[in-house]
Structure 1
Amino acid sequence: MKMRILLLAASLLFPAIAFPGLGAAQAADVEKPNLTIGVGGKPLLYYLPLTLAERLGYFKDEGLTVEINDFGGGAKSLQALIGGSVDGVTGAFEHTIRMQQKKQDIRAVIDLGRYPGIVLAVRKSEADKIKTVADLKGKNIGVTAPGSSTHILVQYAFAKAGLKQDDASFIGVGGGASGVAAMQKGEIDAISHLDPVISKLDELGLINVLIDTRTTEGTEQLFGAMNPAAVLYFKESFIQANPKTVQALTNAFYRTLKWLEKATPEEVAAAVPEEYWLGDKALYIKAFNASRPSFSTDGNIDDASRKAALNLIATTDPTIDPASIDLSKTFDGSFLAKAKSQ
């Protein structure tokens, strides 16, 4: 009896000691416990759920060791997935549509952002000349990377304004402080970017905002509906070969979304690396508050949102034939359903 009491006490106080094989058993249960995820601009709030899942230990809780490769933009992380150097990507949902047209079966399994969270802003010194999207003709516009979601959003706005996609020059400025530096140095006339970069530029008094998709109002004004943003996506072949691994990742991200839904801004700031603050914790908190509505709370992508994403792509890419796209193949909700049931 004394031994049983001691074992019970040990299990309550030191669960890792009482059950030393638990983590190993979890890791052995997934097909690929060591894997790599690509991302294009990890410090951006667009990808905050990825950083939180990592920093809060949720990947490890699922028996996974996740290496994160940070690229200069979402288009580059997509290229890494197609090339086979990463197993999955946290990137824009629209890539699942674009790649279907190219006969590549890429599928999202959980939504991380329900709004793009992208802001199109102009240099304040040019604000008297650039009052509308049409006024950007002939200008230099900074984006995280050509072909990334920040670039595509401007292309969509151009189409609505009657401009051609090559009516301006698009310059890759990266995903972090380099975007701020490009505006400070006068290398660009406008910028399509995300927080905390946008909030930093705003605080410095360098920009005037033209389009803001961090909010419901701004998103609906541009797209006429909701538009899913960052998701976790894989090649369908990887999903088929590694269903337990995909489930474990979906579990970790869904748990992160639920934590994020209730977390205070101070808790979020404390959870991310200090370099994400761009030297100003209060600014990071301000940026998070501005972008908070953009994060998904349930991870789902409904039919209307998928159609809005298809419309965005079809409008900006004449090679996309909407009739040839099967939207049911862009999102596999089975893993999310199981994560919710757990």
Structure 2
Amino acid sequence: MTENFARRTVLKGLAAAPLLLAGCASRGSSTPTGTLNIGQISNSVAFFPLFIAEQRGIFAEEGVKLGDRPRLGTGAKVAAALKSGSIDLGAGVVTDAFNLAESDDGTRIVSSLVSEYYVDIIVATSLDVPGDGASVEDKAAALVGKKIGITGPGSGTEALVKYLFGRIGKDAAVDATLVNLGAAATSAVGALKSGRVDALAFFQPIGQQAEAVGAGRIFISPARGDVPSMRGALHGVMFSTTALLDKKKDEVAAFQRAMGKALEVIHGDEAEVRQLLGQYLDKSDPAAVDALVPILRSEVPSTPDVQRDAYETAKRFHLDSGLVTNAPDYSAVILG
């Protein structure tokens, strides 16, 4: 498949997104037998295992032939590309799979990539807030009335703010000012540093980058256990639909084997992980990468198999935060 053809195919899928996501049936894969097109939101830390599998030649070793691998920007665009058949697997967060499942009961979660909620609340260094020993409720109360940067509406970043405010009987849409900043790291850290926002709700490694340049500090981190009810939540995932998976069974099985080996690398030699992560996050401050290595090793699962406890924790959070109105049962959505 040529690059131009692949790009046109993906763009056709995105143009059809409103109709597709309204509920029409998924199309089968438009990619050749033996090839997997993988669409992902961005180069966030959740998708580091894919980078490892490419860099270390694990995909080739397992017989996985990669086709187009676009960075689509949002989970909704990844879902639209799956619905059109222009990609076979989507790399996103479990929120995206839940949203797709509302319009396609053939949605399946294929792999677990991160089993902690890797969004942090980062506050400006000048903001007067409680110390590290304060309760999560007291910390949430300190954010009332503040300007909080998020990636955008309906995102996992907004969901965390809504959830924290809900714990103290507040409505984030009313009791704070949510500022949509997009997903660019430079925009987020710049907004915090300039005072455009008082705090950020953003994916790793934004918190580590803010700390490295002295723009802010990580205030609330579900991944380090600051919100006990969210501990161990499934977050980064690979997902697809049965219409696609049924046509690519062998290819997906090979992909799963490759993911297993990539996750083993993350839990292996720490120096090698640091080197690979530095290549992956090549625009990040080295101090931020150093800080992220032990965090990443603690939140990445040892196997791509989706554990029931991690799934159920994520499901409760999504329902409690109002991020989704329905979430499928574990047995109905996990690829067996």
**TM-score, length-scaled by structure 1:** 0.77
Residue in 2 that maps onto 1:69? 70
Query: 2: CA distance between counterparts of 1:70 and 1:180?
Result: 21
2:155 to 133, 148, 165: 148
| 1:188 maps to which of 183, 197, 203 | 197
Q: What is the alpha-carbon distance in structure 2 between the residues aligned to residue 293 and residue 236 of structure 1?
A: 31
TM-superposed CA distance for 1:245, in Å, is 1.5
Match of 1:338 in 2: none
Tell me what 1:19 maps to: none
- 1:136-191 per-position Cα deviation (integer Å, ceiling 9, x unaligned): 34433223343232232222222223222423324133143333223223332211
CA contact (8 A) 2:79 2:100 kept: no
TM-superposed deviation, 1:294: 0.6
Instruction: Tell me which moved more, 151-160 or 106-115.
Output: 151-160
1:313 aligned residue: 318
Gaps of 5+ in 2: 1-30, 132-137
The letter for the 1-side match of 2:204 is D
Deviation digits for residues 108-158 of structure 1, max 9, x if unmatched? 112111112221122222234996223434433223343232232222222
Following superposition, the deviation at residue 321 of structure 1 comes to 4.0
User: Which of residues 240, 245, 249 is equivalent to 2:246?
Assistant: 240
2:59 matched to 1:59?
Answer: yes
Contact 1:120 1:211 survives alignment (8 Å): yes
1:162 maps to 2:177:
no
Q: Secondary structure at the match of 2:123?
A: strand
- CA drift of 1:68 comes to 2.2
Aligned to 1:294: 299
Maintained 8 Å contact 1:214/1:291: no
Distance 1:279 1:226 in 2: 26
- Does the 8 A contact of 1:37 with 1:90 survive in 2? yes
1:290 and 1:319, CA in 2 relative to 1: closer, same or farther beyond 3 A? Answer: closer
User: Following TM superposition, by how much is the alpha carbon of 1:31 offset from its aligned partner in structure 2, in angstroms?
Assistant: 6.1
- State how 1:217-228 maps to structure 2 within 5 Å: 217-218=225-226, 221-223=228-230, 225-228=231-234
> In structure 2, how many angstroms separate the alpha carbons of the residues matched to 1:282 and 1:126?
23
Partner of 1:261: 267
Separation (CA, whole Å) in 2 of partners of 1:248 and 1:317? 36
Q: 1:202 to 1:88 in 2, by over 3 A?
A: same
**SS at the partner of 1:153?**
helix
User: Which residue of 2 is the match for residue 139 of structure 1?
Assistant: 146
- Post-superposition Cα deviations, 1:186-231, rounded to whole Å, max 9, x if no partner, equal 332211223322111012222233321233x335x242x4211111
Separation in structure 2 between the aligned mates of residue 66 and residue 87 of structure 1, nearest angstrom: 10
Relative to structure 1, the CA distance from residue 73 to residue 283 in structure 2 (aligned partners, 3 Å threshold; closer, same or farther) is same
**Is this contact kept in 1: 2:157–2:202, CA < 8 A?**
yes
CA root-mean-square deviation:
2.7
Q: Select between 115-124 and 141-150 the one with higher mean Cα deviation.
A: 141-150
- CA shift for structure 1 position 83: 4.5
- Secondary structure of 1:200's match? helix
Provide the identity percentage.
21
**Counterpart amino acid of 1:300?**
D
Amino acid corresponding to residue 326 of structure 1 in structure 2: D
Question: What is the deviation of 1:277?
Answer: 3.7
How many residues align? The count is 297
| C-alpha deviation, 1:72, in angstroms | 3.0
Distance 1:275 1:319 in 2: 31
Instruction: Give the distance between the partners of 1:83 and 1:182, measured in 2 at CA.
Output: 36
Contact 2:129 2:139 in 1 (8 A): no
> In the alignment, what sits opposite 1:48?
48
Aligned to 1:328: 331
Find the counterpart in structure 1 of residue 96 from structure 2. 95
SS of the counterpart of 1:71?
coil
Residue 282 of structure 1: how far off its partner (Å): 4.1
Quote the offset at 1:279 in angstroms.
Answer: 4.9
Shift of 1:55: 1.6
> In the TM superposition, what whole-angstrom CA distance separates every residue of 1:60-94 from its partner, at most 9, and x where no partner exists?
22231243222334444334333544321111123
Asked whether the 8 Å contact 1:38–1:89 carries over to 2, the reply is: yes
Residue by residue, what CA displacement relative to the aligned partner does 1:223-282 show, whole Å, maximum 9, x if unpaired? 2x4211111111121111211121121111111011111131x31232256471435334
Go from structure 1 to structure 2 and tell me whether the alpha carbon gap of 1:240 and 1:210 turns closer, same or farther (over 3 Å shift). same
Distance in 2 (CA, whole Å) between partners of 1:297 and 1:38 is 23
| Cα pair distance change 1:236/1:45, threshold 3 Å | same
1:108–1:205 distance in 2 versus 1, CA, 3 Å:
same
Contact 1:118–1:150 (CA<8 Å) still a contact in 2? yes
Given the alignment, which residue of 270, 275, 286 partners 2:275? Answer: 270
Paired residue secondary structure (2:244): helix
1:120–1:209 contact (8 Å) kept in structure 2 = yes
| 1:203 alignment counterpart | 212
SS in 2 for 1:67: coil
Mapped partners of 1:75, 1:246: distance in 2: 22
CA drift of 1:286 comes to 2.0
Q: Cα gap change, 1:318/1:56 in structure 2, threshold over 3 Å: closer, same or farther?
A: closer
Q: What SS does the aligned partner of 1:228 have?
A: coil
User: 1:69 and 1:145 mapped to 2: Cα distance?
Assistant: 20
Q: 1:26 corresponds to which residue?
A: none
Report deviation, 1:310: 1.4
| Partner in structure 1 of residue 10 of structure 2 | none
